[in-house]
Chain A
Amino acid sequence: DGGITQSPKYLFRKEGQNVTLSCEQNLNHDAMYWYRQDPGQGLRLIYYSQIVNDFQKGDIAEGYSVSREKKESFPLTVTSAQKNPTAFYLCASSSGEGYYNSPLHFGNGTRLTVT
């Protein structure tokens, strides 16, 4: 079955360490996204990519970095510069056909805890 795989489901890190969250999709979607979810805050866009080797900052990109070397993969690195990294991170993709009305397909998320 096609879908989006995020790994790991839970991740624990010490403050000051960089950590990379994995996101892989086999839906053949062009566009991929990273969102951060905090209780009561909804979803906030970190980065998105419409095509391989290109990505754009979202609303809260500071302290994060991404790469898009393959269509299927869009890893997110949470750097030590991110002041409050503990959160639930969601990866999503869309077909890109008519970007405005293409629904997003989501992975099951990675819960990152930094102490």
Chain B
Amino acid sequence: AQSVTQLGSHVSVSEGALVLLRCNYSSSVPPYLFWYVQYPNQGLQLLLKYTSAATLVKGINGFEAEFKKSETSFHLTKPSAHMSDAAEYFCAVSDPGAGSYQLTFGKGTKLSVIP
């Protein structure tokens, strides 16, 4: 069965510092991977997705993520944090080998940006 682990339920960074949000997955075959962002009292928005075309995926708002098969990881990064990046971030996996296309979400990482 597919699963997603996000290390750190809460991450704090200073404005202008590197953002690194960690995501590890388990899957029987190379999966499809997604990062979503959620602002308070809103739904989720897609940041980026990995679908095997390239290991480094660029998303919106300056975020990017790198797929590392050997580490089963898909960490999200941004070189310089902005106050508007404060939100909750969810990693999700879709595993074609599981026989069901439903997404499995991690528990989320809340990002705080300190001025």
Contact = CB atoms under 8 A, between A and B. Distances in A.
Is A bound to B?
Answer: yes
Contacts of B107: 40-42
Interface residues on A, range: 20 to 34
B96 A100 contact: yes
19 contacts: A33-B102, A40-B9, A40-B108, A42-B105, A43-B44, A45-B102, A45-B103, A90-B43, A100-B94, A100-B96, A100-B101, A101-B32, A103-B46, A103-B49, A104-B44, A104-B103, A106-B44, A107-B43, A108-B43
B90 A42 contact: yes
Nearest to B106: A42
Interface residues of B, number: 23
A19 to B, nearest CB: 19
Given A100-B32, A100-B94, A103-B34, A108 B102 contact: no
Contacts of B45: 106
Interface in A29-87: 33, 40-45, 48, 58
Contacts, number: 54
A99 interface: yes
B80 interface: no
B53 to A, nearest CB: 10
